[in-house]
Structure 1
Amino acid sequence: MTTYDLDKFKGVFVAMYSAYDEEGNVCTDRVKNLAKYYVNTGVEGLYVGGSSGEGVLQTVEERKKMLEAVMEAVGDQLKIIVHVGANSTKESIELAVHAEKCGADAISSIPAVYYRLSEDAVENHWQQMIDSTSLPFIIYNIPQTTGFNLTQTLFKKMAAQDKVIGVKMSGESVYELQQFKANAGKEFLVFNGPDEQYLGGRIMGADGGIGGTYGVMPELFCQLDEYFKQGEIEKAQELQAAINEIITRLLSFPSLYGATKAILQLRGVETGIPRSPMLPIKDTDWAEVEKLNGVIERLVAEHTNTAKK
């Protein structure tokens, strides 16, 4: 039985974007403004330094700077999960220790990328992070980018530890998500990763979700979660379908994060452009970005008003 308060991790967590200045350096003022933007949207918290946050493209010091700004801005208002995964275990431990020092609520990590590591190597990599702090640990399984698909054998071994409280399941199979829940028990947290199947993940046992596109439509994912909890499945299906159309359009730009950062810019939230090799939107894309932002804002108004009736 875990000694951690798991309820505070249930719900919608925004996988927070990076925020740079015009020279491409981490800008703490922009980080703080972005973090504050999410405070009154209904989300439970932020997932800092993950895929959407470009953590693997940043130095250790930049990642620390990002977290420190987030904690200063909203650490007492939102739950903060910090992705500390890096290619070297040494850097991952350094980031984990820093997260605990900053007052984060939990840490999380992918396996190291590039090298095709054995299960024993990945287990050792994660275990050293787990042992380096008193914080709860959330496994991040995203095989399509890391090349490592977490097996149920290793998962059950990791999940047996008190400190390991959950898994962010970003694989594409809700069956695997359901198996993680089944093999670890009802107390264990499972976060849906693929934004386009949030509802499917919740139906199959996920306790909430962590996602990148939440960052430009957090209210829609919170309302989707509310429809699910209220048993209004037809409304949830309708909203998930609308969200998926938005995601499809976001994926049509040179990069997803270039598009989401552009949408935030239209709303007065400056975050700069993605770090190379990821691409910003093209000058010719602005009209489409404005249309898409309009679609999101109309859906937010529509479903917020519907929920109040």
Structure 2
Amino acid sequence: MNAEYHGIYAALVTPYTSEGKVDYKELQKLVNYLIEKGLDGFYVNGSTAEAFLLSEEERNNIIKAVVEANAGRKKVICHVGAISTDQAIGYAKNAEKCGADAVSAISPFYYKFSEQEIIQYYQDIMSATGLPMFIYNFPNFSGFSLTEEILEKLKQNKNLIGVKFTSSDMFLLEQIKTLHPELVVWNGFDEMLSAGLIMGADGGIGSTYNCMPELAHKVYDAFVSGDIAKTHKFQEKLNQVIKVICKYGVFASVKEILEMDGFAFHGVRRPFAPMTEEGKRELQKIYKEVIVPNR
């Protein structure tokens, strides 16, 4: 089962209508576009999707729309994380009902939950469905960092399949993969994709892969072929764009670039700030100089 999960997955952004509602048709258009561009799968309702700015109904309808558009062609992982265990279980059951291949969850945040409470949260979600689970390790946002000891306890549940590793602690990534080679480990920070792959990651899940699918896959393909110099070269190109994207807001920037390819996303939800005119100009420039030539 684990060998099925590898490559480059887009952490899907959420398109909106001009009235600020989720645009499910545009989302399905994006799914088809990214499959045509060669991506290997999708991570749905994660940080990139502005998940915690979406209603329960929207999150449930988004996974339904993605699975429908994907039509079994690629793997679909649904993020179900929430502060409330019951809410997370509800998302997981809906994902299973809709036909997602796996679920993932950020650790419960805001309140300083104990290690045992976090372990129980994951055990409860994993026991609620038959779907495989990817632990979402994102200490910068959640305030909780996965450890080898915690992973060892979570492995007692047969549904644990791997980790989405959004951290710069490459030593921990390597240790997880070395000590638990049967687990799938996803690199989370796009700007460190090549580093993650070298340290043992099976692939990458990222925001910027929505708007640079070809370039991200070139990093992965070069690594798989054993050409580290070329891997580094493509990572440098990727990072030229990521530097500008981070300057003007990741989600707004990714959507702005996709609009250059004919999509209509209508920005981000408040309190995220809309794209500035200066940002649009700089993104247009990097789009022409780096993204288009590397397709």
- TM-score with structure 2 setting the length: 0.97
CA shift digits 1:230-283 (9 cap, x unpaired): 111101111111211211111111x21111111111111122211111122113
CA shift digits 1:150-197 (9 cap, x unpaired): 12211111124321010011011111101111232x221111111111
> 1:217, 1:296 within 8 Å by CA — same for their partners in 2?
no
**Residue 208 (structure 1) aligned with residue 196 (structure 2):** no
1:30-179, aligned counterparts within 5 Å?
30-179=26-175
CA distance, structure 1, for counterparts of residue 239 and residue 14 of structure 2:
23
Partner of 1:305: none
3-state SS of the aligned residue for 1:162?
coil
3-state SS of the aligned residue for 2:49?
coil
Measured on the aligned residues, the alpha-carbon RMSD in Å equals 1.2
Structure 1: runs of 5+ lacking an equivalent:
302-309
CA distance, structure 1, for counterparts of residue 68 and residue 54 of structure 2:
20
> 1:220, 1:299 within 8 Å by CA — same for their partners in 2?
no
3-state SS of the aligned residue for 1:52?
helix
3-state SS of the aligned residue for 2:273?
coil
CA distance, structure 2, for counterparts of residue 78 and residue 71 of structure 1:
9
3-state SS of the aligned residue for 1:38?
helix
**Number of residues of Structure 1 aligned to a counterpart in Structure 2:** 295
**Residue 282 (structure 1) aligned with residue 254 (structure 2):** no
**Residue 257 (structure 1) aligned with residue 251 (structure 2):** yes
TM-superposed CA distance for 1:297, in Å, is: 3.0
Residue among 209, 213, 226 paired with 1:231: 226
Q: Residue type matched to 2:142 in 1?
A: T
CA distance, structure 1, for counterparts of residue 122 and residue 246 of structure 2:
31
> 1:19, 1:270 within 8 Å by CA — same for their partners in 2?
yes
Q: Residue type matched to 1:87 in 2?
A: I
CA shift digits 1:55-114 (9 cap, x unpaired): 111111110111111111113222100000011111100000000001100000001111
CA distance, structure 1, for counterparts of residue 294 and residue 158 of structure 2:
39
Moved more, 220-229 or 153-162: 153-162
CA distance, structure 2, for counterparts of residue 231 and residue 37 of structure 1:
28
* Percent of residue pairs bearing the same amino acid type: 36
Structure 2: runs of 5+ lacking an equivalent:
none
CA distance, structure 2, for counterparts of residue 151 and residue 234 of structure 1:
32
